[in-house]
Amino acid sequence: MAKVFAIANQKGGVGKTTTCINLAASLVATKRRVLLIDLDPQGNATMGSGVDKHGLENSVYDLLIGECDLAQAMHFSEHGGYQLLPANRDLTAAEVVLLEMQMKESRLRSALAPIRENYDYILIDCPPSLSMLTLNALVAADGVIIPMQCEYFALEGLSDLVDNIKRIAELLNPNPAV
Interacting residues toward Mg ion by CB under 5 A? 16-17, 44
DSSP state of 37: E
Judged by beta carbon, residue 58 or residue 123, the one nearer ligand ADP is: 123
8 A C-beta contact, residue 134 and residue 167: no
8 A C-beta contact, residue 14 and residue 147: yes
Selected binder of ligand ADP within 4, 6, 8, 14 (CB under 6 A): 14
The verdict on 149 binding ligand ADP (CB under 6 A) reads: no
66-105 residues in contact with ligand ADP (CB under 6 A) are none
Instruction: Point out which span in 8-16, 62-70, 77-85, 102-110 binds ligand ADP (CB under 6 A).
Output: 8-16
The verdict on 13 binding ligand ADP (CB under 6 A) reads: yes
What are phi and psi for residue 71, nearest 5 degrees?
-65, -35
| Cβ-based neighbours of 100, under 8 Å, separated by 6 or more | none
How does 77-90 read in b/e, with b if 16+ C-beta sit within 10 Å? beebebbbbbbbeb
The verdict on 123 binding ligand ADP (CB under 6 A) reads: no
Selected binder of ligand ADP within 5, 6, 8, 17 (CB under 6 A): 17
Selected binder of ligand ADP within 18, 110, 129, 149 (CB under 6 A): 18
